[in-house]
Amino acid sequence: MSKGVVSSKGVVSKDEDYSQWYNDLVIKADMAEYSPVKGCMIIKPYGYSIWEKMQAVLDGMFKETGHVNAYFPMMIPKSFFSKEASHVEGFAKECAVVTHYRLKTDENGQVVVDETAKLEEELILRPTSETIIWNTYKGWIQSYRDLPILVNQWANVVRWEMRTRLFLRTTEFLWQEGHTAHGTADEAIAETEQMLGVYADFAENWMGLPVVKGKKTPNERFAGALDTYCIEALMQDGKALQAGTSHFLGQNFAKAFDVKFTNKENKLDYVWATSWGVSTRLIGALIMAHSDDAGLVLPPKLAPIQVVVVPIYKHDEELENISGFVKGLTKELKAKGISVKFDNRDTHRPGAKFAEYELKGVPLRVAIGSRDMQNGTVELARRDTKTKETVNQEGLATHIEGLLEEIQQNIYQKALKFRTENTTEVDTYDEFKRMLDEEPGFLSAHWDGTPETEQQIKDETKATIRCIPLDNKQEEGKCILTGRPSKQRVLFARAY
């Protein structure tokens, strides 16, 4: 535990120790906990309900763009990874390998691996599914009439991590991965860009998270891709977080797995491919972009509970009177698609309930007591601004609906203002290094386009090129490190 300032909720101040603040919030808000398996996590119901909301929205967006869901095995033959050289090189150090298929009890009564049950070929727990999916597509695709294939899967993956952090980087995590097949390069590129747009739409309009759309440099591309597109977000500590990626794979995997089709000219050609994905690290982004020392701050569109109603009463008769009103309000709110919880537990005082829902980031709290019932009013408390107002009960559901929309927009605008204020153009290497240490954020700077310069900057400063923004203006300049000519700025930051 950090020695920094700790709130009454047991949360370290983010200004004192941002990393500890984040971990405290995840655990104290009952979102996740560490697993007995090192590097893995248990996602608790409150945290998982946020993922379920994300999943439902994204799944609808995918289907709206013509995609369908499928499922492929978690275990992949090791030989599949040998077929695409850059892919295996990119994932080799992160792979978990299954070598045996049986256990037995030894002479001491201990459970051990049965050494006689060794697999003929080792199996890899999927770090990503390109190999097994393209092996499968070989049997699905013969003609241009079989294209495009627009498939997504919701799954878990395993990437062996040495340094882990709940939601942000764990050995096993949940995600979705789209894998599509096309008849032309143009179609595949259009798909890659379309899905990047879907991710940006979701991040900004649902998560309240402003993002920069861009391309990765060759050094930062997905292993096996010709181009990697990404959305990059800025967290409150000035570090960047990659919130989603979409990859143009060219014909690399089609050639590796011999996936050919007869085109409209009756000639054989290799299929063009894409893959794209987001994971449960979006929950980490949600926490780090919006929350404060009092707890989570959740955008209403993704909050498991959007409105909580807390009754304040002394006698059962008063509670019964309040409950009658709340029953009608709940019905009205649910009819508007608003999730509401009536916390009438008699085991907790109102103050303890207020603290609990503040910690959990519930966007709007409604407090109502006997005097409110007499006056025809309620007290509303916003989580985003911590402001309170007393309003009439008449038309309350409509007022709440409008307030939730206002909170959603305010959370986004606050994050956008933060990003704007923490994005700086720099023209010298000394200024670049000073800003990274004193005022971290996005640094827009010229780069000479070489991987050597990119790597040297990373080695010396721990800052990476997050992306080459898609909306970049062309501008003559000089690389901050080498002084060589450059035609555009790129976005640097230290990152998660």
| pTM for this model (two decimals) | 0.95
Cα separation, 332 vs 441, whole angstroms: 43
Low-confidence winner among 134-138, 281-285, 470-474 (lowest mean pLDDT) = 470-474
- Residue 460 has φ and ψ, to the nearest 5°, of -85, -25
- Joined together, the tokens standing for residue 65 give 């763009």
Computed over every residue of the chain, the mean pLDDT equals 96
Cα separation, 209 vs 54, in Å, equals 13
Q: What is the mean pLDDT of residues 120-129?
A: 97
Q: For 133-166, what is the HEC assignment?
A: HHHHHHHHCCEHHHCCEEEEEEEEEECCCCCCEC
pLDDT per residue over 347-406, tens digit each?
999 999 999 999 999 999 999 999 999 999 999 999 999 999 999 999 999 999 999 999
Return d(Cα 381, Cα 277) in angstroms, integer: 36
Q: What is the mean pLDDT of residues 44-66?
A: 98
**What integer pLDDT is reported at residue 8 of this predicted model?**
67
- Enumerate the β-bridge partners of residue 231: 213, 244
Do 367 and 350 form a contact (C-beta atoms < 8 A)? yes
CA distance readout (Å), 290 to 354, 399, 407: 19, 24, 12
| Relative orientation angle of helices 396-421 and 316-335, to the nearest 10 degrees | 70
| Over residues 12-38, mean pLDDT | 96
**For the stretch 342-364, what's the b/e string if a residue is b when 16 or more beta carbons lie within 10 angstroms of its beta carbon?**
bbeeeeeeeeebbbbbbbbbbbb
User: Residue 481 and residue 491: Cα distance in Å, rounded?
Assistant: 15
Residue range 438-449, pLDDT digits in tens: 999 999 999 999
Residue 241 pLDDT > 50 = yes
pLDDT band for 2, please (50, 70, 90 cuts): very low
pLDDT at 5: 63
Asked whether the beta carbons of 150 and 68 are under 8 A apart, the reply is yes
Runs of H (alpha helix) within 206-273: 252-256
Confidence of residue 1 (pLDDT cuts 50, 70, 90): very low
CA distances (Å), origin 227, targets 187, 219, 250, 251, 338: 14, 11, 8, 12, 40
Assess whether the previous peptide bond of 148 is cis (omega < 30° from 0): yes
DSSP string covering 428-452, please? Answer: SHHHHHHHHHHS-SEEEEE--S-HH
Q: What is the pLDDT averaged over residues 327-342?
A: 98
Beta bridge partners of 364: 307, 382
* Whether pLDDT at 85 is above 90: no
392 CB-near residues (< 8 Å, 6+ apart) = 376, 377
pLDDT surpasses 50 at 279: yes
Residue type, 433: K
**How much of the chain exceeds pLDDT 70, in percent?**
99
* Cβ atoms < 10 Å from Cβ of 487: 11
pLDDT of residue 3: 47
| Position 4 pLDDT exceeds 70 | no
Type of residue numbered 406: E
End-to-end CA distance of the chain: 21
Contact 475, 467 (CB under 8 A): no
If 0-12 CB within 10 Å is exposed, 13-18 middle and 19+ buried, where does residue 277 land? buried
